């Protein structure tokens, strides 16, 4: 049996959550027999996948004008993004959401880098510059990824010496002082392949119809080194070092502060070893370490109550961890694979906080938002893959046992904190089937479970927010759990690829907060389930071939969309009012992305992307006027949908030099996907709670141009 390398960058989908990335990196429409990069066995084809996976490939990334991974995923209708600032985003996929501040272990959607935990769930701090591909697994994936993978998984595959060739440099300039650049080099030195890349950028405050949106500027910088060594035909070693971050990012928040800013960065090192043992086993091991830092320079001179607050409220949160993943694949027969896994990880969270009141006093210090903690997690999992009926039917079944331990550690300004260790354990499972009904039609179905364990900070918290409210922990919290059912079909025929999924995800015991008084709240498990039912679709269509266009003309349609036709929050707080109080908040009811590219291969092209930011339901954290802005402080708003159009053109000037330019927000839509009060002078915002402005808006019309040189 010939040896096929399985990289640790492919591990996120290695065990039953196979994706649809084509092994051949050339652009094209997916077919049923397309070989998979992320496959549980050598040369597995698209026909064997049993789960819904969305892939953003290198071609889409290169054609995008995205400044961050948030922009990139939003362009492809991946889910809802609460875009608070240029440096802070939370994601919602199938009802599971990341923590608002990107705290990794408090999220219901897991963000991975090369198949291992990244240390953050805030993708706004990550740049697309060093990214080769992104795979989004929809629905619970805790069998493979453990706690937090309730709504889905976002796996970021970085560049290396095999998925990127040659050398190149990109420079870009645009509206509002935009300046970005990247430089990379890749190649071979004998049996050693390498990639090294650097990127940096900055932008000043952007504008909208209501003028300059102050304190929206940012700076970025990052770098990556990837080394790979083939030790013969049957084993490979890889080493990857990376750093990525956003700095001096304005933080307007829900009180429109004009002087707050964040520094947020993520760093990691990982070592991979893959090998083949005879004809009966593929072996993969990954050791990694990460450090994630949120350096928050906040203040709130005027608190939400209107009282005097603090001119400075600096919070530094550091999460560091290291782990080991062992993932042997045993080939029991030509139609049977047994996939095994062992995960071990240890981490520590440390926090500092320093406040200065408006009067200049430093005597009133408070505990940080997170309690210092030490955490340990371990897991064993297995999945059996069986193919029947001449490999037309694929059956998968897997289970995972997870154990964790979280210890509270002495934390500044918490003299009564009990340093205590709490443990948890859970078993999750997944079952799936795929049937190749016709050469071009595949049917699939599956069921899976997920969970998220409560953390030390939720069990024992006692912190004060910048707005003056207090949040307490709850030692009786239970783990959040989920149960998902899914059916789907895939059509891959000639010039088009189409995938449709129908799902239901039920999330139980959601960890939320309940008010104890007007200024104090406590973590608690919600009394009712969140039930999400929806449809998800992906479509690729090569119109040039379908219309038999002559020459090397390019005409391609790419589309994706989500319709969550049922978003029922059975545990909605009784304090909420309005006709939408029972709807799940911060989640699109529907969204879509439509892209059309026309041009000539290797010469020029023009692309138009239309992004539908669908309606959401939201009890906003903004302080709005009553009744001008909302009838009640606990009123659940329904933000209407809107379209944003982006235009981009590429021109191949010479063999090595290409030019590009574009316009984002072509029609200058002055809206926000999250905030109720928009612009600088919103009549619905409460001036008594403002710290500078009266609303938030998306960027207005933005122009940019640039060049890419290969050498």
Tens of pLDDT, residue by residue over 268-279, are 999 999 999 988
Task: Specify if 2 maps to a domain.
Answer: no
Establish if 547 belongs to a structural domain.
Answer: yes
> Is residue 419 one of the residues assigned to a domain?
yes
| Residues forming beta bridges with residue 532, ordered by sequence position | 505, 567
| The dihedral formed by the CA atoms of 60, 65, 71 and 77, expressed in degrees to the nearest 10 | -40
Residue 97 lies in a domain: yes
Domain residues for 192? 8-710
Contact 313, 300 (CB under 8 A): yes
pLDDT, one tens digit per residue, over 42-59 is 445 667 677 788 888 888
Over the stretch 147-167, which tens digit does the pLDDT of each residue have?
Answer: 788 888 898 999 999 999 999
Q: Could you tell me if residue 76 is inside a domain?
A: yes
pLDDT score recorded for residue 46: 64
**Least confident span in 74-83, 240-249, 333-342:** 74-83
What are residue 339's phi and psi, to 5 degrees? -110, 125
Lowest mean pLDDT among 68-72, 315-319, 479-483, 502-506: 68-72
In the chain, the percentage of residues whose pLDDT exceeds 90 is 58
pLDDT at 30: 63
Mean confidence (pLDDT) of the chain: 88
Check residues 46 and 560 and name the one with the higher pLDDT: 560
| pLDDT surpasses 80 at 41 | no
395 within 8 A of 444, measured Cβ to Cβ:
no
CB 325, CB 14: distance < 8 Å: no
Q: What is the mean pLDDT of residues 612-618?
A: 93
Q: Residue 492 sits in a domain of what CATH number?
A: 2.40.170.20
Judge whether 198 and 222 are in contact, CB under 8 Å: yes
**Looking at the domain assignment, is residue 1 inside a domain?**
no
On whether the CB atoms of residues 119 and 290 are closer than 8 A, the answer is yes
pLDDT at 5: 30
Q: Which residues make beta-bridge pairs with 618?
A: 637
**Count of beta carbons in the 10 Å neighbourhood of residue 182:** 21
Predicted confidence band of residue 306 (pLDDT cuts 50, 70, 90): low
Q: How far is CA 179 from the centre of its chain?
A: 25
Half-sphere exposure of 412 (CA within 13 A, CB side): 16
Domain annotation covers residue 57: yes
pLDDT bucket at 304, cuts 50 / 70 / 90? low
Residue 360, pLDDT above cutoff 80: yes
Domain annotation covers residue 533: yes
Domain count, the chain: 1
pLDDT at 84 over 90: no
């Amino acid at each position: 049996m010939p040896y096929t390398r399985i990289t640790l960058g492919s591990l996120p989908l290695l065990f039953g959550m196979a994706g649809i990335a084509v092994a051949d990196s050339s652009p094209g429409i997916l077919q049923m027999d397309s070989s998979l990069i992320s496959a549980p066995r050598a040369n597995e084809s698209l026909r064997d996948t049993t789960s819904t996976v969305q892939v953003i490939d290198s071609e889409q990334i290169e054609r995008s004008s995205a400044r961050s991974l948030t922009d990139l995923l939003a362009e492809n209708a991946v889910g809802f993004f609460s875009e608070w600032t240029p440096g802070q985003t939370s994601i919602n996929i199938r009802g599971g959401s990341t923590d608002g501040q990107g705290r990794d272990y408090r999220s219901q959607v897991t963000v991975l880098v090369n198949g291992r935990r990244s240390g953050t769930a805030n993708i706004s701090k990550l740049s697309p510059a060093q990214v080769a591909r992104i795979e989004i697994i929809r629905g619970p994936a805790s069998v493979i990824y453990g706690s937090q993978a309730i709504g889905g998984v976002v796996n970021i595959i970085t560049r290396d010496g095999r998925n990127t060739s040659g050398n190149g440099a990109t420079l870009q300039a645009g509206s509002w002082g935009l300046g970005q650049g990247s430089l990379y080099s890749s190649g071979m030195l004998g049996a050693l392949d390498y990639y090294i890349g650097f990127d940096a950028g900055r932008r000043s405050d952007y504008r909208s119809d209501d003028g300059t949106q102050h304190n929206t500027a940012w700076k970025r910088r990052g770098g990556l080194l990837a080394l790979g060594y083939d030790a013969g035909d049957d084993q490979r070693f890889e080493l990857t070092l990376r750093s990525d971050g956003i700095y001096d990012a304005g933080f307007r928040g829900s009180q429109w502060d004009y002087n707050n800013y964040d520094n947020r960065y993520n760093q990691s090192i990982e070592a991979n070893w893959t090998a083949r043992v005879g004809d009966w086993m593929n072996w993969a091991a990954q050791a990694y370490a990460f450090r994630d830092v949120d350096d928050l320079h906040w203040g709130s001179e005027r608190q939400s109550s209107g009282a005097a607050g603090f001119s400075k409220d600096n919070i530094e949160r550091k999460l560091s961890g290291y782990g080991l993943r062992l993932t042997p694949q045993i080939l029991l027969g030509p139609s049977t694979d047994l996939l095994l896994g062992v995960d071990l990880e240890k981490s520590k969270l440390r926090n500092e906080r320093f406040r200065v009141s408006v009067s200049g006093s430093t005597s009133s210090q408070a505990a940080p938002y997170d309690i210092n903690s030490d955490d340990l997690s371990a897991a064993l999992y297995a999945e059996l893959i069986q193919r029947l009926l001449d490999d037309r039917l694929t059956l998968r079944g897997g289970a995972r046992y997870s154990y964790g331990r979280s210890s509270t550690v002495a934390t500044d300004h918490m003299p009564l904190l009990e340093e205590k260790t709490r443990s948890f354990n859970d078993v999750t499972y997944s079952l799936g089937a795929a049937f190749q009904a016709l050469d071009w039609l595949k049917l699939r179905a599956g069921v899976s479970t997920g969970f998220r364990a409560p953390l030390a900070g939720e069990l024992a918290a006692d912190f004060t927010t910048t707005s003056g409210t207090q949040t307490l922990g709850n030692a009786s919290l239970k783990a959040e759990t989920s149960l998902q059912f899914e059916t789907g079909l895939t059509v891959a025929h000639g010039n088009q690829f189409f995938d449709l999924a129908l799902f239901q995800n039920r999330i139980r015991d959601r960890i939320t907060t309940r008010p104890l008084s007007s200024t104090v709240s406590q973590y608690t498990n919600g009394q009712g389930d969140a039930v999400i039912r929806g449809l998800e679709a992906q479509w690729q269509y090569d119109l040039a071939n379908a219309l038999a266009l002559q020459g090397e003309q390019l005409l391609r349609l790419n589309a994706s969309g989500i319709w969550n036709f049922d978003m029922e929050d059975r545990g909605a707080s009784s304090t909420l009012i309005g006709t939408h109080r029972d709807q799940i908040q911060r989640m699109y009811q529907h969204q879509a992305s439509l892209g059309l590219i026309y041009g000539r291969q290797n010469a020029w092209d023009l692309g138009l992307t239309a992004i539908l930011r669908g309606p959401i339901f939201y009890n906003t954290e903004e302080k709005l006027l009553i009744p001008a802005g909302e009838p009640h402080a606990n009123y659940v708003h329904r933000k209407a949908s809107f379209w944003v159009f982006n235009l981009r053109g590429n021109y191949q000037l010479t063999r090595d030099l290409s030019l590009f330019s574009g316009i984002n927000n072509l029609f200058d839509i002055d809206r926000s996907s999250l905030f109720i009060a928009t612009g600088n002078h919103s009549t619905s915002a409460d001036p008594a709670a403002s710290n500078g402005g009266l609303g938030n808006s998306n960027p207005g019309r933005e122009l940019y141009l640039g060049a890419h040189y290969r050498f």
